Amino acid sequence: MDTNMDKYLGTTLDGRYEIDEVIGSGGMAVVYKATDMRLHRPVAVKILRDEFASDEEFRARFQIEAQAVAMLSHPNIVSVFDVGHTDGVEYIVMELIEGVTLMQYMQKKGALGWKEALHFSVQMCKALEHAHSKGIVHRDIKPQNIMMLRDGTIKVADFGIAALESAQEQRSDQTIGSVHYIAPEQARGETPDTRSDIYSLGVVMYEMLTGCMPYDGDSAEQIALKHIAGMAAAPRSINPDIPEELERITMRAMNADILSRYQTAGDLLADLEDFRKLQSGVKSAGEGENGADGIFPDVEPLGRTGEMSEAKYARRRRRSRRVSIMSGTVGVLVFMIAIFVFLWNYWLKDIFSTAERVELPNFVGQNYESVVNDNANRSLFDFTVTYSIDPNVPEGQIISQDPEAGRSLMIVPEGIEVTLTVSTGVRESVVPDVLNKSLQEAIVELQNSGFKYEPAYSTSNEVTEGYVISTDPAPGGQLAEGSTVIVTISSGPELRTITMPNLVGYTEDEAINILYNNNLAYADTTYIESEQAAGTVIRQSIEAYEDVEEHTRIYLWVSTGPAETPAPTPTPTPPTQTPGEEFPSGETYFFDW
């Protein structure tokens, strides 16, 4: 086993989470089974690998995404209990799921029956609807991220955190595990939104119903291009037992055109629920039918020349007529009884019978996790959880409920809607001093102190661009953990427009001083020959008297003086004849006498 995975075994994080064993490993993190020593319960702890924990930007993003997902609370979403940082270790504490992934289930069973696929799809859709309502996009819906409990409950894992793992897979060319479920807009490199999750869910539905992927290929690029083209075979061409309406819903969910797709998870859920209700009201083919044909075969009268006498034939004919009338009467009665039974079961019973009701229990004062995870409660109620800061109520305890306890409510198949308000508790902490620190450093310190942050920007002539000017509240102030600290960041000095001075004719040193005196920056000098005196500025990168922003870099051209004129070649002087001297033979001289 990897020593990096072993090194946390037997250790305790933050004096609370005792690491017991490794239960999973991915490219970004390792998942351990652990014990929460404070609440005495088993949990799953996901620890960020060392190479990512040392990346400040990645660590900050990890914390932000994890804290956002921790606010989700839904029976079909794996709960995030805590997010922590200690001694350079980044970790997330999650609900421990005893079950298998949907991928493992399908590998063992193959294509699922449409009723089972519908049951799972409705639960996944409810999970997406809840997460999307909180502004959380999963970005990596696939069977590997969907857990199944023994009772058939679906729990979607890694909301928000999947985005980090997906990004890491793309950097290390390991996207083949997710590319089968990738939305066309993601394949094109565009930013995914809630409709991308709906597309991926549609692909999972397709796989559950048919037992195969809508698109496959030899490489991730081939598969991605097929998603963009959107030419998947109809599910019924693979499995004719799939109802036509369920096929229509599936193909609309995974429509390559984002505008033709379901626009919200709620729209998809509504169609799935309508389909389920329609199927529960459809009478099975041939159920309750029992006609007279075939029970009493036609009686063919015999001729007078047969063995029966005319009187006997007349009696047989009268008896046959009576039997036919009785059979017809019985058939009509059976038909009417069948119609009545059908109407009673699906319409009249609701009118003439008293609907089953339940008295709403008092959940106030209980721990919300115990309430929403109780099987008896989950079978009767559809919980929505909101949070409120209350210094007088412990964290996780229910403050109020809507409707109030004691009300008699009608039991409905989709569950009685109950809203629970849960206390976040209040723990005050000191606002850290992050002045003159970079934004990333400030984010990490604020989050380690239990605060959220909201950036604001302002110009500053004293503080470097990208560094913190001030915080609200100011450093040293007391503030409830979980509150938002407004961080004002420098966007650099406020620039003003000035008139470009004339530098031509000045010496290089004089020109540079003029630039600095006008809050302009000297960039560089090019030296060239010219008729101007050496050392004189003959050109500037921005013409004089033009408008220019402060601190603009200005280039200069400086004269090295005129080019040197070469010395003329001297003309040779003819030799002078001395009386009595002869010229050398073979040489001719011309003189102008």
Q: Looking at the domain that runs over 428-490, which CATH code has it been given?
A: 3.30.10.20
Q: Which fold has domain 497-559?
A: Trypsin Inhibitor V; Chain A (3.30.10)
140 is catalytic: yes
Mean pLDDT, rounded, for 511-524: 91
List, by residue range, all CATH 3.30.200.20 domains of the chain: 1-96
pLDDT-based confidence at residue 580 (cuts at 50, 70, 90): low
List, by residue range, all CATH 3.30.10.20 domains of the chain: 357-423, 428-490, 497-559
pLDDT-based confidence at residue 384 (cuts at 50, 70, 90): confident
User: How many degrees, rounded to 5, is the angle at CA 38 between CA 37 and CA 42?
Assistant: 50
Q: Which of 140, 197, 293, 390 is catalytic?
A: 140
> What CATH superfamily classification does 1-96 receive?
Phosphorylase Kinase; domain 1 (3.30.200.20)
Q: How much is the pLDDT for 373? A: 83
Q: Three-class SS string for 490-543?
A: ECCCCCCEEECCCCCCCEHHHHHHHHHHCCCEEEEEEEECCCCCCCEEEEECCC
The CATH classification of domain 357-423, taken from the options 3.10.580.10, 3.40.50.450, 2.60.40.10, 3.30.10.20: 3.30.10.20
DSSP 84-150: EEETTEEEEEEEPP-SEEHHHHHHHH-SPPHHHHHHHHHHHHHHHHHHHHTT---S---GGGEEE-T
Q: Which residue has the higher pLDDT, 584 or 188?
A: 188
Of the ranges 112-121, 276-285, 369-378, 444-453, which one carries the lowest mean pLDDT score? Answer: 276-285
Q: Is the pLDDT of residue 438 over 80?
A: yes
Q: How much is the pLDDT for 305? A: 40
230: Cβ–Cβ under 8 A, 6 or more apart, which residues? Answer: 184, 255, 256, 257
118 vs 253: CA distance, rounded Å:
14
What is the per-residue pLDDT across 530-543, written as a single tens digit (0 to 9) for each?
989 999 999 999 99
Q: Is the pLDDT of residue 426 over 80?
A: no
198 vs 249: CA distance, rounded Å:
11
What is the per-residue pLDDT across 281-303, written as a single tens digit (0 to 9) for each?
654 444 433 333 333 333 334 34
- Strands of the 468-472 sheet, one edge to the other: 452-458, 484-490, 468-472
User: How many degrees, rounded to 5, is the angle at CA 202 between CA 198 and CA 205?
Assistant: 135
What is the per-residue pLDDT across 204-243, written as a single tens digit (0 to 9) for each?
999 999 999 999 888 888 898 899 888 899 999 999 999 9
Does this model's pTM top 0.95? My answer is no
Count the alpha carbons within 13 Å of 305 in the hemisphere toward its beta carbon. Answer: 0
The CATH classification of domain 99-280, taken from the options 2.120.10.90, 3.40.30.10, 1.10.510.10, 3.10.129.10: 1.10.510.10
Helix (H, G, I), strand (E, B) or coil at 457: strand
Q: Is the pLDDT of residue 171 over 50?
A: no
Mean pLDDT, rounded, for 339-344: 74
Give the β-pairing of 452-458 and 484-490: parallel
